[in-house]
Amino acid sequence: MAALRYAGLDDTDSEDELPPGWEERTTKDGWVYYANHTEEKTQWEHPKTGKRKRVAGDLPYGWEQETDGNGQVFFVDHINKRTTYLDPRLAFTVDDNPTKPTTRQRYDGNTTAMEILQGRDFTGKVVIVTGANSGIGFETAKSFALHGAHVILACRNMARASEAVSRILEEWHKAKVEAMTLDLALLRSVQHFAEAFKAKNVPLHVLVCNAAAFALPWSLTKDGLETTFQVNHLGHFYLAQLLQDVLCRSAPARVVVVSSESHRFTDINDSSGKLDFGRLSPSKNEYWAMLAYNRSKLCNILFSNELHRRLSPRGVTSNAVHPGNMMYSSLHRNWWVYTLLFTLARPFTKSMVSEWLLAPWASSMCL
């Protein structure tokens, strides 16, 4: 430590943080080197750790690598219309000769979906995201689209869905995005959506079951089922069943079911331990909005687990994910009390761009 202190290398909290006067750069072929501006010299090894590194993956979508008149590499961000000498992949370097796996968590609550998909090329992949006109559904759809995927925004409100498509195209005019009508509260609409998608004769690599209703007053759908149960679970269950043949033909493929930690605070069995169908679609006298939501999220978990058991041998995996505590979104809009509670909690929640949804599975996705 004395030697480090004398050299001025102990004044940073992280071992990867560079000392004052040092700069991290990359070569044209992706190797990282370090420039010491004080002594006007460069070296391959990190001045504190002694490790050699290289950048991982391809450049993010919209970026290009150029070389200036002095032979130095610089980078052009066509989306944000800026130029920098800092390689955008430097946040995702890997050791040249890794010795052991790191225990440091790669993603946390502040990680964005764009960071999670960093360096991944989804060109040629087809993704469906339900409820993608706002909130985490929109951020997920946008992130996939900006990384080359053909993304279908499956939404009930086509005006809002078309606006969401336009917002994505404003960020990247080459994005392949489109909107299709899907009303999960109407099983006939789910069937029509599946038929319209199959008519395109394209594969399906990712199905994100994201749309949900929260704190709805009691009502029945035209199919005669309680609305929260049908929108949050049964509609997605039916959609996955109708598209499972396409998913299997497109393998490797994946289904992501957005659930919630609130699934722990309910039960769908009766006192004898048998499934109580009356709890899934209760009458008005037995209805409580929060309990209905919790039960629908429990159904999401059970469905995702069983879907994975059945389809994983055919190359289709299924994951259920939890967004984090009190994710601030538009789910609360149905009752002013929930709106007030969510507003008070907002400073302590993740933002929409701090996207949790892709983290558990995209980083290891074999697509």
Q: Which residues are catalytic?
A: 293
CA–CA gap between residue 273 and residue 267 (Å, rounded) = 10
In 3D space, the residue among 179, 184, 110, 191 whose CA is nearest the CA of residue 145 turns out to be 179
CA–CA gap between residue 185 and residue 157 (Å, rounded) = 12
SS3 assignment, position 23: strand
The answer to whether residues 225 and 232 touch, using CB atoms and an 8 Å cutoff, is no
In 3D space, the residue among 294, 363, 281 whose CA is nearest the CA of residue 322 turns out to be 294
Report the Cα 320 to chain-centroid distance in Å.
Answer: 12
**Is residue 205 packed enough to be buried (19+ CB in 10 Å), middle (13-18) or exposed (0-12)?**
buried
Please, where are the H alpha helices in the chain? 2-7, 113-116, 135-145, 158-171, 187-198, 227-229, 235-249, 277-280, 289-311, 336-345, 359-362
Helix (H) or strand (E) holding 93: strand 93-95
In 3D space, the residue among 127, 139, 114, 109 whose CA is nearest the CA of residue 330 turns out to be 139
Joined tokens for residue 301? 């978990």
Strand partners, 220: 226
DSSP symbols for 149-181:
-EEEEEES-HHHHHHHHHHHHHH-TT-EEEEEE
**E strand segments, 41-92:** 41-43, 53-55, 63-67, 73-77, 82-84
In 3D space, the residue among 300, 359, 292, 333 whose CA is nearest the CA of residue 134 turns out to be 333
